[in-house]
Structure 1
Amino acid sequence: MEILAYGVQADERPLLERAFAGRHGLRCLDVFLDRDTAPLAAGHPAVSSSVNAVLDADTLAVLAASGTELIAQRSTGFNNIDLDAAADLGLTVARVSHYSPYAVAEHAWALALAVNRRLTRAATRTREFDFRLDGLLGRDVHGMTVGVIGTGKIGECFTRIAAGFGTELLG
């Protein structure tokens, strides 16, 4: 089967190529799937889209008319896809069922620590050979109260990391 992947980022390309090697043909595009780019899928029974795709009724109609039967979204979210229109057109829609909750929680903590320790400002100053500390001091995370909204799989991982820092937790 020949698959057309829309909105493929540079770091995704080798992963997709490796995943489909010897099993399916793959053509990667850096443009996002929308009404204007949907005609590029002509003759491809399957397309892969990113979270930035606009899969409204018009886009889906173009895909269905050009022979597409399957849309595989490379994200957990699917709010950009008109599922009712897809069903009416006989299109099958698939998506990523979940991401690693550890990866998401760790990334959230990385961002929180970067804000607390003003890492972006520090990196900018360092590139400019400005090594002053004023305006760069953060606060100890240890002893802080951390509120977590949403205590599912990701929230649980996030709170375990927070506990490791010695925080008080609210969920």
Structure 2
Amino acid sequence: MPSTIAVVVLACAAGCIPGVVTATLSPHMVGVYTQEDGRPVPGARMLLSTAAGDSTCIRPTSSTVTDAAGRFEFAAITRREPLILIPLDRVYCFYVCGESSGTPLAGHPECVGAETPPSQLIQCVATYQILDRTKPRFACRTRPRTYSVARSGHDGQRTPILLPSGGGPA
């Protein structure tokens, strides 16, 4: 018992906080996948990889298929981790990959930290190189899914608005 107390006291004196935290490796994402001209890409497989450097999503953590309007959704990916050092904001990177005509496209990297909103909108587009129209590329753009709007009146308060899951980005 005294040795346990000594370890805790030494850890606190060193600025360390022993414990366990839940790390968000990727936030909840609602998205839409379209062609360059804005047409939806229905039935395309979308992959999410949280493995370091897995830009082609060979080892996907999650996968889904787009609906008729090109919409897709990924649940948040979390992991329990020991917290033994000074609590710093860790950054986790993940990749979102898509397909074009059955061909997997290189992933779009994103990174998340403590300040990342818990839910995001993601818009992915299959684009083509100008010189070689046979080689599609994949690009995504994310933004927070929660916005705040000013309340009526002049109190300066704001109300958070959660965008609907099925709508995808505008």
- Over alpha carbons, which structure has the higher Rg? 1
TM-score category (smaller protein): under 0.3
Between structures 1 and 2, the one with greater helix share = 1
Between structures 1 and 2, the one with greater strand share = 2
Q: Scaled by the length of structure 2, what TM-score is found?
A: 0.19
Q: Scaled by the length of structure 1, what TM-score is found?
A: 0.19
